[in-house]
Amino acid sequence: MKKLDYYVLDVFTVQRYTGNQLSVVYTPEELSLEQYHQISREFGYSETSFVHYSDVSGALEVRSFTPAGFEVNGAGHNLLGAVILALLKDWDIFKTQGAAKWVAINGTPIPVNISEKDGHPFVAMKQRPAEILGNVPHARIAEAIGLDVASVGVNGWESKVVKTEVSHLMVPIKDTNTLIHAIPNKALLKALSEEYDFDGFYLFSTEASAKGYLASTRFFNPGIGIDEDPATGTAAGPLTGYLEKLEYVQKNKDHIIFQGEQTGHPSEIHVRVEDDGIMVSGSSVIVMEGSIYV
């Protein structure tokens, strides 16, 4: 029997018991695939990250799984929370790196920038430039999210499959009140994602908010066991890139995407489009830590 240290963080927030919950397990050596699945299922959060520092790569190595046993890639809350944890615990994960810092998700290097805001560590992760892969008819989407077809679409925008690290469907909703009342049909959502070859559904409204958010959003990905996610960095990047292509946002300008209100875990995802990619940023706080046995 082995004892492993674990931590639970709230990600894309600086306030405990908000943001997106993430369990992080420190694994000095690789576990079996079955053990990764069992531990992720035991925690039950949308994702669990397993981390260790590699002397071979000279970087923090991260693998992430959903409770349904799917391995997750990309620069989202699963990676952000792991990096913030390392900073909060003073793990020297950049000791052999120069000015250009990076970590690895499932072996893929992800550039990160480290800073501080209001006394909290702040991490920016660079995703690749947004790529539009296709579109899905509004009538099909409306049926799957329990809205009438007139509620899907705004400004003539289509629902597009967009990819930076992961492919998600961007779904414009006419206003935030309508967004709140979307009721996902898991079976129909899964069927659509399989038919059009993408992962999750990112519903968004750009209706003006008192806090000046770029968009209010909701995310559904029942295909990998996520009914609704409180914050989704791998979808916020594609959305920002899509809105830049629509000339709704400008490059090199900071924005905040709001997500998670319907789950009781409000989150703020900082985003910025640059020439060579999309920066997705935020902070995290530790809410629990302890040991698990395998």
Task: Write down the pLDDT at residue 207.
Answer: 96
Residue of 3, 266, 246, 15 lying closest to 130 (CA atoms): 246
Render pLDDT for 21-67 as a digit per residue (tens, 0 to 9).
Answer: 999 999 998 999 999 999 999 999 999 999 999 999 999 999 999 99
Q: What is the pLDDT of residue 74?
A: 85
Sign for the pseudo-dihedral over CA of 34, 40, 46, 47: negative
Average pLDDT over residues 136-159: 97
The model's pLDDT over 248-285, given as tens digits with 9 standing for 90+, comes to 999 999 999 999 999 999 999 999 999 999 999 999 99
- Look up the pTM and report it: 0.95
pLDDT at 130: 98
Tell me what pLDDT residue 43 has. Answer: 97
Task: Identify residue 112 by its one-letter amino acid code.
Answer: V
Note whether 49 and 74 are within 8 A (CB): no
Q: What is the pLDDT of residue 1?
A: 85
pLDDT of residue 76: 93
Q: pLDDT of 151-206, one tens digit each?
A: 999 999 999 999 999 999 999 999 999 999 999 999 999 999 999 999 999 999 99
CB 203 within 8 A of CB 217: yes
Select from 186, 273, 269, 194 the least CA-distant residue to 235: 269
- For 190-213, give one letter per residue: b (16+ CB within 10 A) or e: bebbeebebbbbbbbbbbeeeeeb
What local confidence, expressed as pLDDT, does residue 129 receive? 97
Helix extents (H) in the chain: 33-43, 77-88, 138-145, 176-180, 186-196, 233-245
What pLDDT, in 10s, does the model give residues 16-26?
A: 999 999 999 99
Token pair 């206003």 is found at: 175
| Residue 53 in tokens | 């520092």
- In angstroms, rounded to a whole number, what is the distance separating the alpha carbons of residues 256 and 266? 12
What single DSSP character describes residue 30? P
64-113 tens-digit pLDDT: 999 999 999 888 999 999 999 999 999 999 999 999 999 999 989 999 99
What residue has token string 């615990």?
89
Tokens of 203: 């519903």
Sketch out the chain's domains with CATH numbers: 3-127+282-293 (3.10.310.10), 131-275 (3.10.310.10)
Rg (CA), the chain: 18
Residue 289 · residue 2 · CB < 8 Å: no
Helical (H) or strand (E) element with 133: strand 131-135
Q: SS3 of 261, please?
A: helix
